[in-house]
Amino acid sequence: MQADYVIVGAGSAGCAMAYRLSEAGKSVLVIEHGGTDAGPFIQMPAALSYPMNMSRYDWGYMSEPEPHLGGRQLVVPRGKVIGGSSSINGMVYVRGNACDYDHWAESGAEGWGYANVLPYFKRLESWHSGGHGGDPEWRGSDGPLHVTRGPRSNPLFQAFVDAGREAGYETTNDYNGEKQEGFGPMEQTVWKGRRWSAANAYLRPALKRQNCHLVRGFARRVVIENGRATGVEIDRGGKIETISAGREVILAASSLNSPKLLMLSGIGPAAHLREHGIEVVADRAGVGQNLQDHLELYLQMASSQPITLYKHWNLFSKALIGAQWLLTRKGLGASNQFESAAFIRSRAGVQYPDIQYHFLPIAVRYDGQAAAEGHGFQAHVGPMRSASRGAVSLKSADPSDAPKILFNYMSHDSDWEDFRACIRLTREIFAQDAFKPYVKHEIQPGDAVQSDAALDDFIREHVESAYHPCGTCRMGRADDPMAVVDPDTRVIGVDGLRVADSSIFPRITNGNLNGPSILVGEKASDHILGRDPLPSSNAKPWVHPNWQNSQR
């Protein structure tokens, strides 16, 4: 039970590192507490609401009562399964905006600017435009992660893009290419009708090599001797064992479990560790701090035409779709149904998009539990860069206890302003001519909800996490007291230990976090192997020429 590298967590970043490190001839052991990802609930894209709500695939975490949301506790799904959250997510693929990475570099994550990360995004992708346009020069063609687009056959997908154009916004045929800003097709990690998770893309090929193995077990803490990480203590079938790392231990256990493991191992805010009787190995004030997420609402419209997915909202139709998918990997089951998207700016003076849209041709709850009144459609919308910061801390020194998660959502006035703007801008889009043939009336929030106070009440009650937690082991300069890892992903103050997952994001990126999490695994692999980084790109991404004076 020993290898050159021991990776904790078979999620988006962990699978990528297992693949790259074993490809380089190093021996790798991956520790994963979750079980198999086999079976239609995970592999069938349209079934995405099931695994996210199944305890066998999810850690089952809840936030603390959120003080600015009337004490609501929000569910915080994280994948407890091979592939991690890439096996239970909505399969939406977004790289993030170029300016996000430039901000990382400016805030101390040197070598992580857009020019540095773009070559890695190209390395990880096999991009398929499906004949819908796009930016081949900006995309990868032979990476492990297949990225595709849905068929967009429902007319509502085009109506959404047309309405955005009519409202005066940009359109883009590839938000992951030169130009993120605008309305256009959405991309998904689906290949040949199957969820293309990090497990399918990276881990399965890696495990075919002699030097990469998967260990099923629950990581309890990192073993540290004389200031150096030498292994990981795990609970395997009720027995406590230690897995030894010849070179390094790498935590890729999520933005919730990676800081928890650091703290259980004596790395974190000293006073907090002492409170729980944990011996301090390295006093790092930033461990567990800087927690960020995206919140979203859905605006739902009743449809005047029976063209939405509601016609399939019955057992018979679902069974037919499932059967067709099982036999052919085709049909409605082969898409996540998020096939149109938009990134816009909330106001003049915002340099790059700070609002994201997912458009869905059915009015339904995210957990798939309830359809709204008959035929309808919805836009999921939320601000990208909230000023609110939360924290992950320990409930106790017992590794089997869940971490304490407080997002501190909506704790800034700007959060409320941003959300009200989201609702009003969305209403304006749905009022365009392109939607005239389809809109009957607004279901949610409903026409009566107009004033700031009424909108705030609606937001407080209905806002949901987009499930993008990150930032709890922030990457920064080695002399930055709040940084947890340096730009090589090494934990500051301990030898032989790294963190490489969404924990290390200095600030949350635009859109869904699966792509950036895989990027971290890809780029960290080169740092771990001591390789020169891929040559920087000279590509110049599009920024709205009049962003200072114009909102669109």
**Residue 366 reports pLDDT greater than 70:** no
pLDDT in tens, 492-506: 999 999 999 999 999
Question: Residue 511 annotated as binding?
Answer: no
What pLDDT is stored for residue 389 in this prediction?
98
C-alpha distances in Å from residue 409, one per residue of 189, 343, 539? 29, 22, 36
494 labeled binding residue: no
When pLDDT is averaged across residues 91-103 and rounded to a whole number, the result is: 98
> Is 1-150+189-288+470-538 a domain of CATH 1.10.3720.10?
no
For the chain, give every domain's residue range.
1-150+189-288+470-538, 151-185+295-383+411-462
89 is in an annotated binding site: yes
Contact of 301 with 362, CB cutoff 8 Å: no
All residues at 6 or more sequence positions from 238 whose CB lies less than 8 Å from its CB, including other chains = none
Q: Which of 33, 294, 358, 468 is catalytic?
A: 468
Predicted pLDDT of residue 369: 65
Q: Are strands 28-32 and 2-8 parallel, antiparallel or unpaired?
A: parallel
User: What confidence score (pLDDT) does residue 367 get?
Assistant: 65
The helix (run of H) or strand (run of E) holding residue 191 is strand 190-191
53, pLDDT greater than 90: no
Peptide bond into 445 cis (omega under 30): yes
CB atoms within 10 A of CB 363: 25
CA–CA distance, 127 with 136 (Å, rounded to integer): 8
Q: Is 75 annotated as a binding residue?
A: no
User: Which distant-in-sequence residues (6+ apart) come within 8 Å of 399 by Cβ?
Assistant: 218, 219, 220, 221, 235, 264
Give the pairing type, strands 340-344 and 190-191.
unpaired
For residue 226, is it left (φ>0), alpha (ψ between -120 and 50) or beta? left
For the chain, give the mean pLDDT.
96
Domains 1-150+189-288+470-538 and 151-185+295-383+411-462 fall in the same CATH topology: no
In the annotation, is 468 catalytic? yes
* Residue pLDDT, tens place only, 394-429: 999 999 999 999 999 999 999 999 999 999 999 999
Give, in words, the CATH class of 151-185+295-383+411-462.
Answer: alpha beta
Q: pLDDT for 333-349, tens place per residue?
A: 999 999 999 999 999 99
Q: Region 82-102: what's the mean pLDDT?
A: 98
Regarding beta strands 282-283 and 267-268, do their DSSP bridges make them parallel or antiparallel, or are they unpaired? parallel
Cβ 186 vs Cβ 148: under 8 Å: no
Closest CA to 228 of 251, 242, 240, 245: 245
322 assigned to a ligand binding site = no
